[in-house]
């Protein structure tokens, strides 16, 4: 058999090209192509040619004939058929019901490939752009088409029409017999009109007018919503100025009780409209659908650290990321983490033991030790390395996490730090910059290292070889980081920056929340000793009397009474006391008009303490969550410590397992006693994470059994 030279060269080129392509993106591309072929096979369509597909049907046709061919094909193959243009499928849809689904969808917002031809001229203008960019632009451009603004254009339409008529009159000739091309004249008219509208001064004016109109509209449509007395210009801001952090939340809750209508309260902070909504029926729409998927302005403070990570991002970016991160929380993966929970709990116990030995009469504050434990845990599970926070509190990374958490709280809740311009001049801004440097460098280093290890190993499930940093100790399985390193979006692997956003988001969202929950759990069972006893009995019956035996996934799943106590703790003390969403499009929720541009605030804390939703809400009653014995039926949108719906907490199962592992280990060793007045509930501060005004102090008594 003999081969010709061009054939051999072609074969070598193909082999080289395949070898240079990284296997992962190629595999994912092939998977997508296979899926596209499978789905396309379900639809009718004309026969295809190799490589060309159906391109031959349109070759050499005049534009007017293209439409005729499509109509003919529709007659032959029905309302929905496929065309294959080269390697890509196009689906032609003529059924109004299908068209409604496509055009009404919030996901199918990106334009077809054919629009790429426009991008040299229009770049990423409204017509061509997609995702977050399209979202933001559409929002600011929409008011320019308000009817009041359109009204001001009528004069231009009128003037330009008069000019066109003049041109037509001349073209008609003196005897009126000349033929005129009306289409061309109309084209010139619309060109003149649009150029006139496009002038920069008009743009500025439009912006001012549209802002005023928008503001007026906000006032009009929300007139019927309940609100406390307001002042001109400041709105309701004066009610909050000068209030201590713990008074702010109480003030809002009091207003809701007094002025709220249908459990909704309207608060104007200057020109900013905030709606506090707490009717579970409304929350079903807000949290249960993807209509309100964008986060409120307050989340901006998180962006310097988390950039566009899962917690902060919106639109398509959020959707793609959520899809690829979800498998990282599969129970098979969580099971691998139990060892880490156990090892970190043992370190916590040794720190608690040191404190216990010198606790004195006033006891000590458990929170800081718990917080270091949850920091170590999330770091090791998300990145696969330990920062040794519990044994090395002074580590640069640990200090940077603490600094940034403090900065975020201040930026979100202190008016002095709210505005970028004034904030930049404060020492806090400089501290934030230094901390961000440390955090970002650390995460980046781990990602680069792991990427290289994966590349070197040439397979996807290797253990890391070394961490190579003074702060970085043990090496673990890295399901979360590995999943991100192996994922693709639109056939492209995630960049180091993309991955850093998500790893940092886990670091932020995954440790303060859990430590707050563990601290309030200890507070509750310390002030309800019967519940503490029941927890201990259950722990001993599931895990035995050997205090040192490690917890397992199965054991944790059997701790059902502990589970009820965690649920009840999160009802009374939800770690995230307030959530916020931004309304992008005016809508109606159960009869209330919610205007575009307003913020929606939702408080899991307020909902959890409402008497009409939870009987005797200020009493710790874990049994209320027992589905077998309790008569109390929980509304899923009234109990929302992990939020609800498609954008709920992705880490909730992880969090519950971690809390159980820590409390089971601590309760086996110590009886927990609250030092303070148990009859006086702690004064709460509802910031980014729920905390108490004064530290909760505890004494630990060694258990002997």
User: Residues marked as binding for heme?
Assistant: 649
CB 316: neighbour CB atoms within 10 A? Answer: 19
Q: How far is the CB of 288 from ligand HEM (least distance, A)?
A: 13
Closer CB to ligand HEM, 301 or 655, in the complex:
655
Helix orientation angle between 560-572 and 652-669, rounded to the nearest 10 degrees: 110
Interface positions, 644-663, toward ligand HEM (CB under 6 A): 647, 649-651, 654-655
Stretch in the footprint of ligand HEM (CB under 6 A) among 68-76, 411-419, 456-464, 567-575: 567-575
Q: Which is nearer to ligand HEM, 592 or 647 (CB)?
A: 647
Residues 504-523 that bind ligand HEM (CB under 6 A): 505-506, 509-510, 513-514, 517
Q: What torsion do the CA atoms of 208, 209, 211, 217 make, to the nearest 10 degrees?
A: 170
Which of the residues 343 through 382 are near ligand HEM (CB under 6 A)? Answer: 378
Identify which of residues 206 and 483 has a Cβ nearer to ligand HEM in the complex: 483
Token pair for 299:
């989340």
Which position among 275, 338, 483, 576 is part of the footprint of ligand HEM (CB under 6 A)?
Answer: 576
Minimum distance between the CB of residue 631 and ligand HEM, rounded to whole angstroms?
26
Residue number, 81 or 654, with CB nearest to ligand HEM: 654
Stretch that binds ligand HEM, among 186-194, 571-579, 584-592, 608-616 (CB under 6 A): 571-579
| Residue 272, token pair as written in the block | 């900013």
- Per CB under 6 A, contacts with ligand HEM among 414-453 are none
> Are the CB atoms for 651 and 510 separated by under 8 Å?
yes
575 contributes a contact to ligand HEM by CB under 6 A:
yes
Does position 285 interact with ligand HEM (CB under 6 A)? The reply is no
The single residue listed with the structure tokens 């390395």 is 385
Q: What is the DSSP letter of 114?
A: G
How many whole angstroms from its chain centre is CA 665?
33
Nearest Cα to Cα of residue 502 among 320, 654, 640? 320
Cβ 581 to ligand HEM shortest distance, Å:
7
Residue 304 near ligand HEM by CB under 6 A: no
CB 432 within 8 A of CB 403: yes
Judged by CB under 6 A, the number of residues near ligand HEM is 25
Please state, in angstroms and rounded to a whole number, the distance separating the CA atoms of residues 283 and 636: 10
Q: Which residues pair with 82 in a beta bridge?
A: 91
Rounded to a whole number of angstroms, the minimum distance from the CB of residue 531 to ligand HEM is 19
Q: Which two tokens stand for residue 245?
A: 């952090």
Query: What is the closest distance, in whole angstroms, from the C-beta atom of residue 577 to ligand HEM in the complex?
Result: 9
| Distance from the Cα of residue 397 to its chain's centroid | 25
Strand partners, 684: 692
Q: Which two tokens stand for residue 72?
A: 């003919």
- Binding residues, as ranges, are 649
Where in 477-506 is the site for ligand HEM (CB under 6 A)? 505-506
Q: How far is the CB of 371 from ligand HEM (least distance, A)?
A: 13
Question: How far apart are CB 279 and ligand HEM at their closest, in Å?
Answer: 18
CA-wise closest residue to 298 among 579, 703, 12: 579
Tell me how many helices (H) and strands (E) the chain has.
26, 15
Q: Give the nearer residue to ligand HEM in terms of CB position, either 576 or 662.
A: 576
What is each CA distance from 69 to 56, 62, 75, 82, 99, in whole angstroms?
A: 12, 11, 10, 14, 20
The answer to whether residues 643 and 513 touch, using CB atoms and an 8 Å cutoff, is no
Least distance from ligand HEM to the Cβ atom of residue 501, Å: 11
Nearer to ligand HEM by C-beta: 315 or 641? 641
Nearer to ligand HEM, 46 or 622 (CB): 622
- Minimal distance, residue 450 CB to ligand HEM, in Å: 18
DSSP string for residues in 290-343: STT-SBPGGGGGGHHHHTT-TTT--HHHHHHHHHHHGGGGSHHHHHHHHHHHHH
Among residue numbers 376 through 405, which ones bind ligand HEM (CB under 6 A)? Answer: 378
Secondary structure class of 197 (helix, strand, coil): helix
- Closer of 595 and 651 to ligand HEM (Cβ): 651
- Which of 35, 31, 128 is closest to 89 using CA atoms? 35
Burial 461-499 (b: 16+ CB within 10 A, else e): eeebeebeeebbeeebbbbbbbbbbbbbbeeebbeeebb
Taking the complex as a whole, the smallest distance from the CB of residue 389 to ligand HEM amounts, in Å, to 15
Binding mask 602-641 for ligand HEM (x = CB under 6 A): ---------------------------------------x
Question: Looking at 72-80, 218-226, 349-357, 574-582, which segment touches ligand HEM (CB under 6 A)?
Answer: 574-582
> Which residue is nearest to ligand HEM, using beta carbons?
651
CB atoms within 10 A of CB 368: 16
The residue (of 378 and 551) whose beta carbon lies closer to ligand HEM is 378
Nearest distance from C-beta of residue 642 to ligand HEM, angstroms: 5
> What are the Cα distances from residue 501, in Å, to 401, 440, 453, 609, 693?
15, 9, 21, 34, 32
Nearest to ligand HEM of 83, 312 (CB atom): 312
Q: Shortest gap between Cβ of 506 and ligand HEM (angstroms)? A: 5
**At its nearest, how many Å lie between ligand HEM and the CB of residue 316?**
13
Minimum CB separation from ligand HEM for residue 649, in Å? 3
**Residue nearer to ligand HEM on the CB measure, 128 or 696:** 696
Question: Residue 86 in 3-state DSSP?
Answer: coil
Complex with ligand HEM: residue 73 or 312, whichever CB lies closer: 312
Spell out the residues 6+ positions from residue 100 whose beta carbon is closer than 8 angstroms to its own.
none
For the chain, the distance separating the N- and C-terminal CA atoms, rounded to the nearest angstrom, is 85
- For residue 322, state whether it binds ligand HEM (rule: CB under 6 A): yes
Can you tell me which of 273, 276, 301, 310 binds ligand HEM, judged by CB under 6 A? 310
The contact mask relative to ligand HEM for 198-217 (x = CB under 6 A, - = no) is --------------------
Cβ proximity to ligand HEM: between 246 and 322 the closer is 322
Per-residue x/- track, 83-112, ligand HEM (CB under 6 A)? ------------------------------
646 secondary structure, DSSP code: G
Q: Which DSSP string do the residues of 650-666 spell out, in sequence order?
A: TTHHHHHHHHHHHHHHH
State which of residues 136, 365, 634, 643 lies at the interface with ligand HEM (CB under 6 A).
643
What strands, in cross-sheet order, belong to the sheet with 364-365? 364-365, 697-702, 670-675
Nearer to ligand HEM (CB atom), residue 543 or residue 655: 655
Q: Name the CA radius of gyration of the chain, rounded.
A: 31
* CA 656/CA 461 separation, integer angstroms: 26
Examine residue 278 and tell whether it contacts ligand HEM (CB under 6 A): no
Q: Quick check: 621 and 609 in contact, CB under 8 A?
A: no
Site residues (vs ligand HEM, CB under 6 A): 310-311, 322, 378, 505-506, 509-510, 513-514, 517, 570, 574-576, 579, 641-643, 647, 649-651, 654-655
């Amino acid at each position: 058999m003999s081969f010709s030279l061009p054939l051999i060269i072609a074969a070598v080129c193909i082999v080289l090209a395949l070898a240079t392509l990284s296997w992962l993106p190629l595999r994912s591309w092939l998977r997508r192509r296979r899926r596209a072929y499978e789905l396309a096979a379900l639809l009718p369509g004309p026969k295809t040619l190799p490589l060309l597909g159906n391109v031959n049907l349109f070759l050499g046709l005049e534009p007017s004939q293209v439409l005729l061919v499509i109509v003919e094909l529709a007659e032959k193959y029905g309302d929905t058929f496929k065309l294959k243009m080269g390697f890509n499928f196009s689906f032609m849809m003529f059924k109004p019901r299908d068209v409604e689904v496509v055009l009404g969808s919030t996901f199918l917002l990106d334009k077809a490939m054919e629009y790429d031809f426009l991008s040299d001229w229009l770049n990423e203008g409204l017509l061509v752009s997609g995702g977050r960019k399209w979202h933001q632009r559409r929002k600011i451009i929409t008011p320019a088409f308000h009817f009041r603004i359109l009204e001001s254009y009528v004069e231009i339409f009128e003037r330009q029409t008069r000019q066109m008529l003049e041109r037509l009159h001349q073209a008609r000739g003196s005897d009126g017999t000349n033929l005129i091309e009306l289409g061309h004249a109309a084209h010139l008219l619309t060109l003149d009109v649009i150029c006139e509208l496009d002038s920069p001064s008009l743009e500025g004016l439009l912006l001012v007018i549209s802002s005023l109109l928008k503001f007026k509209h906000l006032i009009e449509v929300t007139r019927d919503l309940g609100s406390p007395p307001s002042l001109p210009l400041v709105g309701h801001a004066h009610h909050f100025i000068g209030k201590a952090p713990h008074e702010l939340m109480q003030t809002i809750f009091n207003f809701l009780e007094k002025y709220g209508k249908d459990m909704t309260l309207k608060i104007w902070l200057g020109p900013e409209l905030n709606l506090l909504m707490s009717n579970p029926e409304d929350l079903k729409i807000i949290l249960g659908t993807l209509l309100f998927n964008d986060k409120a302005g307050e989340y901006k403070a998180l962006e310097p650290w988390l950039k566009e990570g899962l917690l902060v991002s919106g639109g398509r970016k959020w959707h793609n990321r959520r899809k690829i991160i979800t498998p990282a929380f599969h129970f098979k993966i969580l099971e691998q983490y139990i060892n880490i929970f156990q090892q970190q709990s043992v370190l916590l116990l040794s720190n608690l033991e040191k404190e216990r030995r010198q606790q004195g009469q006033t006891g000590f504050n458990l929170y800081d030790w718990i917080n270091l434990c949850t920091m170590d845990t999330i770091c090791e599970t998300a990145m696969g390395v330990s920062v040794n926070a519990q044994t090395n509190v002074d580590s640069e990374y640990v200090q940077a996490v603490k600094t940034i958490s403090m900065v975020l709280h201040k930026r979100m809740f202190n008016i002095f730090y709210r505005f970028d311009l004034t904030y930049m001049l404060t020492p806090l801004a400089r501290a934030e910059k230094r901390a961000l440097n440390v955090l970002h460098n650390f995460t980046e280093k781990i990602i680069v290292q792991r990427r290289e290890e994966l590349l070197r190993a040439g397979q996807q499930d290797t253990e890391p070889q070394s961490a190579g940093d003074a702060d970085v100790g043990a090496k673990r399985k890295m399901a979360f980081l590995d999943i991100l390193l192996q994922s693709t979006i639109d056939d492209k692997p995630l960049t180091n920056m993309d991955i850093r956003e998500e790893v940092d988001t886990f670091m932020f969202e995954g440790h303060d929340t859990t430590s707050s929950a563990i601290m309030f759990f200890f507070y509750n069972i310390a002030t309800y000793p019967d519940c503490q006893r029941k927890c201990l009995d259950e722990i001993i019956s599931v895990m035995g009397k050997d205090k040192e035996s490690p917890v397992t996934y199965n054991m944790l799943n059997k701790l059902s009474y502990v589970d009820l106590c965690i649920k009840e703790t999160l009802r009374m003390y939800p770690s995230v006391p307030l959530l916020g969403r931004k309304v992008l499009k005016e809508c109606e929720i159960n009869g209330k008009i919610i205007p575009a541009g307003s913020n929606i605030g939702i408080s899991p804390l307020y909902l959890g303490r409402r008497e009409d939703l939870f009987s005797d809400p200020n009493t710790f009653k874990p049994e209320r969550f027992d589905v077998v014995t309790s008569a109390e039926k929980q509304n899923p949108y009234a109990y929302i410590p992990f939020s609800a719906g498609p954008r709920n907490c992705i880490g909730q199962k992880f969090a519950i397992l971690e809390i159980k592992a820590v409390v089971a280990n601590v309760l086996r060793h110590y009886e927990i006693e609250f030092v303070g007045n148990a009859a006086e509930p702690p004064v709460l501060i509802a910031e980014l994470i729920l905390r108490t005004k004064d530290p909760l102090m505890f004494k630990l008594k060694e258990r002997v059994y």
